[in-house]
Structure 1
Amino acid sequence: MTQQSVDFALDSAEIEQFHRNGYIGPFDLYDEGEMEQNLQRLRPKLINTKASIYSQKQAVSGSTNLANYDRHLDVDFLAEHITRPEIVDRVSSLLGPDVLCWRTEFFPKYPGDEGTDWHQADNFSNVAGSKHPQIVWPEDSEFGGTITVWTAFTEASVETGCLQFVPGSHKTMHYDESKVMTYDPDSINKVEKDGIRRGFFGYDYRQLQKDPDWSPDESKAVSQVMRQGQFIIFWSTLMHASHPHSGLTDRMRLGFAARYLPTQVQVYPHSDALQEFGGAASLDKYGAVMVSGEDRYRHNTFVDHTVNGFRFPVR
């Protein structure tokens, strides 16, 4: 069992705010100087993807960028980051005492890059090229999705492409994730929607719309400006996007997303490989991380402790 602090737990008003809007924050985690030092030490480790559980050596097919998924399983700083009480206490306030982190991803945005298109994610099946959901909530659950904790490893401003949310939009799904989007890497940075360059890393979320004539009400959108070292918490079913990088500065924007679930949710229950963005990699080395409480369900694979830099799945 993981010992948990309650120092950073959300109060009742904050919990109500989260359920109303679908997000809460930003919160302070690192000061800017500390985060910059962490980032400088982190960069060489991120470039070296040989230790990644989805390294090219482990790839099942294709030239995959999946090597930078789940780097908390081989990079100590990221392993510590996802278990920070400033994050875990708040997430546990929303999901209950037994919580796992099932996935992490980096979201870089370079000068001139397009914005991320408006989207929602419930079971994460659509980008996998199959109808298999990546996460499965119990049948009697009132909702699905995952809680995402997005940390600004660099400053996130409108100019550098910060997140955008439509408050309250997490309660209605406008996309059908039983459909499959077509991956087209040639479309990256080349799609314009309503006068703004927006894409989804080679996918077009319009292919999943339940109503082809529907479009998000961007008049209600709120830009999530964050200083370096802050994080924000939101439901993956919240309508979210990001601004394009204006190119007015040569500094990239780097976000790190950690995704959390209560332990009753099944992770990758129908898959033995992760398939996204034109590539596939084996899940043989994958394991979720318990960050709070204990696992009472025994239907997920977890990683145990680190031994000589490697984390071993517990099955």
Structure 2
Amino acid sequence: MKKGTLAEMLKGFGSIEEVAGGFEITSLQSLRVWAMVALVMLHKVFVLPWQGKKKKRLLDDLDSLKNLTVTISRDKLDRPKEGGCFLNEKDLDFFEKNGYLPPFQVISKSEAEQLRGELLDEFSCDFHGKNYMSEKVKDIAERHDQWSIEVAGLYQALRIKSLRALFRRPQITERLASLLGGEVMCWRSQMFHKFPGARGTIWHQNATFRETGKYAKLQPSQKMDPAVIQLNAWVALTDCTEKNGCLRILPGSMGDARMDYLYGYVQDNQIFYLSLLPFSISHLYALLKIALYGTIFVKSTLLFRTAVELLGEDYFDKFKVVDLHMKAGECLIFSSLNMHASYPNTSNDDSRFSVVARCTPNHVRVAPSGVDVYSTAEGLVEYKLPDVPNFQVYGTDSYGYNKVMDD
């Protein structure tokens, strides 16, 4: 077993107990955690021994997700032989093997600085009162001093023309079209501002973006490889280094979707899942404190750590960590199913700022608005999904499955 792989991945991350100790809960919330601890322990002793078939089904399902392939159709797009930013055979082979494309320049450093300033100005005035998340989620986040640009900035490209223009640059869109076909839309835009002292984002993967909700946000209408249901166009608006929290990736890990599967499975089978794991009472308390009251990024720590306990460290043996040092104005395109993370920001005065367009083919149905759930400091709360359009980044929409912005 390669002892160094997991250790390398966990550079900058604390234990479950350290993560759970990083936020406070009320006495009433603590009582609820202890009640869940008792339920899991009782389940482990009295119920789990009778659930052999359920355990076998889980292991069989996981086994079926070990060796997925990624095949990019070479005839999806009529690529010109010369010119433009369309991918050639070598590029496509690289993506099929690694699940990402090496960073490339999209805008100049000065253009990146200008856009960053515009977006921070927008956030400073609360995006002029336009919030795409529910007021319930915003109220809770503000009460706990957690209303950040990561949440407030969701979908804001719909109203910020300069951000849409960035994501429609041919350097990005022609590469996306080479991978996804001739009709590509952005279904969600986001912003990430990692301040000095900000914690890292733990390793995760995502195919259909169920996240902490009740169902997948992306629902393909055609058979397709899970790795290309959605691709990220992640643009650095500042230089990204190890010290200020650059991205990290496990090339090729989109061929193993077991961890993505467990993210959804845990939410539907929490007590059963936790009872499968070895634990002490204090460790279980920390796990359940995070499960019940951790925000979405904190909760990812629980999912990753427990998945490692279930799958074993050799899950990572065949992969090698790549740190992605990027310059302001560069873009990284990668599959969301490719495991990725970021370092904590250990610098004194150097913030990392980036924006991302989450893109998918137009034949993928984006889940309609409705009631969903969201992880907050006060637990999971129901909220209404925003009824927002997508915006086209390449080609035109011939399917009509989704609302597409007319701009």
Residue identity in the other structure for 2:225: E
Which of the numbers 250, 254, 277 marks the counterpart of 1:166?
250
Q: Is residue 298 from structure 1 mapped to residue 400 from structure 2 by the alignment? A: yes
Match of 2:331 among 223, 231, 241: 231
Map of 1:82-161 to 2, 5 A cutoff?
82-128=167-213, 130=214, 132-138=215-221, 140-144=223-227, 145-161=229-245
Q: Deviations over 1:233-256 (max 9, x none)?
A: 000000111111113x31211121
Separation in structure 2 between the aligned mates of residue 277 and residue 187 of structure 1, nearest angstrom: 7
Structure with bigger helix share is 2
Preserved contact between residue 218 and residue 367 of structure 2 (Cα < 8 Å) = yes
Query: Counterpart of 1:133 in structure 2: which amino acid?
Result: A
Aligned pairs for 1:180-191 (under 5 A) are 180=266
Ranges in structure 2 where 5+ consecutive residues have no aligned partner? 1-78, 142-146, 268-287
Contact persistence 2:122–2:128 (CA under 8 A): no
Shift of 1:127: 2.1
Question: What is the CA deviation profile of residues 107-127 of structure 1, one whole-angstrom value per residue up to 9, with x for unaligned ones?
Answer: 221112221111110111132
Shift of 1:230: 0.5
Deviation string 1:61-108 (CA, Å, 9 cap, x unpaired) is: 844653210110111211211211111111001101011110111122
Match of 2:389 in 1: 287
Looking at structure 2, the residues matched to 105 and 49 of structure 1 have their Cα atoms a distance apart, in angstroms, of 13
Aligned-pair distance for 1:231? 0.7
Equivalent AA in structure 2 for residue 84 of structure 1: R
Alignment match, 2:158: 73
Q: 1:210 to 1:221 in 2, by over 3 A?
A: closer
- After superposition, the Cα gap between the structure-2 partners of 1:52 and 1:179, relative to the gap in structure 1 and judged at 3 Å, is farther
Query: Which stretches of structure 1, 4 residues or more, deviate above 4 A after TM superposition?
Result: 55-62, 180-188
* 1:265 positional shift: 0.6
Q: Given that residues 123 and 152 in structure 2 are in contact (C-alpha distance below 8 angstroms), is that contact kept between their aligned partners in structure 1?
A: no
How far is the alpha carbon of 1:213 from its aligned partner?
4.0
What amino acid is the match of 2:105? Answer: D
218-227 vs 254-263, which deviates more? 218-227
Letter in 1 for 2:178: S
Whether 2:346 is the aligned partner of 1:268: answer: no
Cα distance in 2 for residues equivalent to 1:136 and 1:107: 26
> Within 5 A, what are the aligned runs for 1:189-204?
200-203=297-300, 204=302
More strand by share: 1
Does residue 31 of structure 1 match 2:117?
Answer: no
For each residue in 1:182-214, what CA deviation from the matched residue of structure 2 results, as whole angstroms up to 9, or x when unmatched?
A: 8669757xxxxxxxxxx9344432377396243
% identical equivalent positions: 26
Inter-partner Cα distance in structure 1 for 2:371 and 2:123 = 22
Aligned residues: 288
Structure 2 CA distance, aligned partners of 1:85 and 1:281?
36
Please give the per-residue CA displacement for 1:25-58, whole angstroms capped at 9, x wherever unaligned.
2000122122112222332112323443515658
Structure 1 residue 275: Cα displacement: 4.2
Report what 1:40 is aligned to.
117
SS at 1:298's partner residue? coil
In the alignment, is the contact (CA less than 8 A) between 1:159 and 1:246 conserved in 2?
Answer: yes
How many Å separate the matches in 2 of 1:92 and 1:277? 34
Structure 2 equivalent of residue 52 of structure 1:
130
Are the equivalent residues in 2 in contact too, given 1:120–1:239 (CA < 8 A)? yes
1:45 and 1:75 in contact (8 A); partners too: no
Distance in 2 between residues matched to 1:163 and 1:205, nearest whole Å: 19
Q: CA RMSD in A?
A: 2.9
Residue 94 to residue 268, structure 1, CA distance change in 2 (3 Å) = same
| Residues 203-222 of structure 1: pairs in structure 2 closer than 5 A | 203=300, 204-206=302-304, 209=307, 212-215=310-313, 217=316, 220-222=320-322
Distance of aligned partners of 1:80 and 1:273 in 2 relative to their CA distance in 1, 3 Å threshold: farther
C-alpha change, 1:275 and 1:55, in structure 2 (3 Å) is same
Q: C-alpha separation between the residues in 2 aligned to 1:96 and 1:161? A: 32
